[in-house]
Amino acid sequence: MIRILPDVFRDPTIRVSMLAIFAFGFAGAATSPYQSIVGIRELGLSNGLYSTLIFCAAAVNVVVSILLGNLADRLGQYRVMMLTVAVFGVLGYGAVYVVPAQATFVLSALFFLPVYGSLNSLLFANVRIATSGMERNDVATVNSGVRAMISLSWVLVPGITGALLANSASMLPAYLFAGLACVVCFGLIAVFLPRQDGTDKAAAHHLSYLAALGEVISPPVFVRLIAVALISSTLHVNGAILPLIVTGAAHGTVADIGILVGIVALLEVVFIIVWGRAQRIMTHVMALAIGTVIYVVYLLLLGLASAPWHVYALTLVSGIGAAALISIPITYLQELIAERPGLGSALISVNIFLSAGLSAFLFAIGTAISSYSGTALIGAAAGLLGLALLLFFEKARRHN
């Protein structure tokens, strides 16, 4: 691995963090595709309750990520915070498997798992500390490599989980697999993650929790968050409409959906590394702009697809663009509050929440006034709007 990847991955903290975030991604990849099946079909939750639960869980995750990120900055103890939230993952997934009931599922989804979800931003914050003395290009390379591990888990885990449980009467064992992944994640952090001097020092300027929230929603930060969220929303729009276009306008089958998703996820792993290297010769904003244009072109062409081979032909374009949109914003968002790694990395969770909300709005508007293919075009327009806003705000900042 060391010969293939850049020298920055020789750092043991970075390597262990990559393994830990793979384990983190493993838990989500094992359960997310089957979460609605467990919650609605097996445990009997209504569609309305399930939708409300998922939305509230996302909101809780954003709040928790900001609070814990700020607390980690104040204490200078990222390791302790990561170990703590990893335990929440073990309890959350384990409880659903051991006590499969509606109350357990709701408690897990609304409390334990959103807290565990903050491990994503905490891991990136810890990596940020490890890269604090590196060149900005190396930082981008590291973030891309770490993010690629989540995509790799999504390449491998859903299919393996589905195959293992193909003849099972219940998908609940997926939660057992996820719980075990959380145990592995805890062990990696507790045993193998080197201690760092930087994590033993609290942030120079303490922020109250209200002040931390205020910094997140301050105009210079929030307007850029909105711009990036509009760009990221294209990924969520694609996630919603791709299966519908494949089995509708493109006249494909359900089997095609799984194959297409797997191909794109594999391409993402490769091109995330490529984009990390590309940021050595261009700025984060320029790389994100190019990636956005590529993904917008993909959505426009997806809206015109009328045969299965059309969608298969677009997988390369989709993989290149998606790799940029899921990796480059990480470094950009962290640098919005660069002096506080925990709080800056919490912006990753904020972006996920905002982009998911915007995509739901775009999907509702698109399907109300047009077809699924038309919704793809509306998603592309939103991506271009986000890019225009981002370039405008960055130009204004340079002139100040």
Which pLDDT score is estimated for 208? 62
Average predicted confidence (pLDDT) for the chain: 87
Residue 125 has pLDDT above 60, yes or no: yes
Long-range CB contacts (within 8 A, 24+) of 304-307: 304/373, 305/245, 305/249, 305/250, 305/373, 306/249, 306/250, 306/251, 307/250, 307/251
What is the residue whose two structure tokens read 């059309």?
310
* Dist. CA 111–CA 60, nearest whole Å: 8
CB-based burial label for 371 (10 Å; 0-12, 13-18, 19+): middle
Query: Is residue 77 a contact partner of residue 19, using CB atoms and an 8 Å limit?
Result: no
Q: Which tokens belong to 236?
A: 């969520």
**Which of 232, 234, 254 is closest to 243 using CA atoms?**
254
| SS3 state of residue 202 | coil
Residue 394 has pLDDT above 80, yes or no: yes
* Dist. CA 44–CA 107, nearest whole Å: 15
Handedness of CA 369, 374, 377, 383 (dihedral sign): positive
Measured CA to CA in angstroms, residue 271 lies from 127, 141, 282 at distances of 21, 12, 16
What confidence category does residue 209 fall into, taking pLDDT thresholds of 50, 70 and 90?
low
pLDDT, tens digit (0-9, with 9 covering 90-100), for 134-166: 777 777 788 888 888 988 888 888 878 888 887
pLDDT, tens digit (0-9, with 9 covering 90-100), for 152-205: 888 888 878 888 887 888 889 999 999 999 999 999 999 999 876 544 444 444
Domains and their CATH numbers in the chain: 1-206 (1.20.1250.20), 208-400 (1.20.1250.20)
Q: Which tokens belong to 258?
A: 């799984």
Q: Which tokens belong to 265?
A: 């996820």
**Which of 134, 162, 136 is closest to 8 using CA atoms?**
134
Burial 20-48 (b: 16+ CB within 10 A, else e): bbbbbbbbbbbbebbbeebbeeebebeee
| SS3 state of residue 382 | helix
What lies within 8 Å, CB to CB, of 163 at 6+ separation is: none
Residue 205's CB is within 10 A of a number of other CB atoms, namely 10
Amino acid at 80: V
pLDDT, tens digit (0-9, with 9 covering 90-100), for 264-292: 888 988 999 899 888 888 888 999 999 99
Which pLDDT score is estimated for 379? 94
pLDDT, tens digit (0-9, with 9 covering 90-100), for 210-220: 666 677 878 88
Which pLDDT score is estimated for 78? 84
- The upper half-sphere exposure of residue 51, i.e. CA atoms within 13 Å in the direction of its Cβ, equals 5
Which phi and psi (to 5°) does residue 338 adopt?
Answer: -65, -30
Distance of CA 261 to the CA centre of its chain: 16
| SS3 state of residue 250 | coil
Q: What percent of the chain has pLDDT over 90?
A: 43
Cα 145–Cα 147–Cα 153 angle in degrees, nearest 5: 105
Which pLDDT score is estimated for 27? 95
Which pLDDT score is estimated for 2? 41
pLDDT, tens digit (0-9, with 9 covering 90-100), for 81-94: 999 999 999 999 99
Which pLDDT score is estimated for 200? 44
* Dist. CA 174–CA 157, nearest whole Å: 10
Q: What is the pTM of this model?
A: 0.82
pLDDT, tens digit (0-9, with 9 covering 90-100), for 17-54: 999 999 999 999 888 878 888 888 899 988 788 878 88
CB-based burial label for 285 (10 Å; 0-12, 13-18, 19+): middle
Q: Read out DSSP for 90-125?
A: HHHHHHHHHS-SHHHHHHIIIIIHHHHHTHHHHHHH
Give, as one character, the DSSP assignment of residue 200. Answer: G
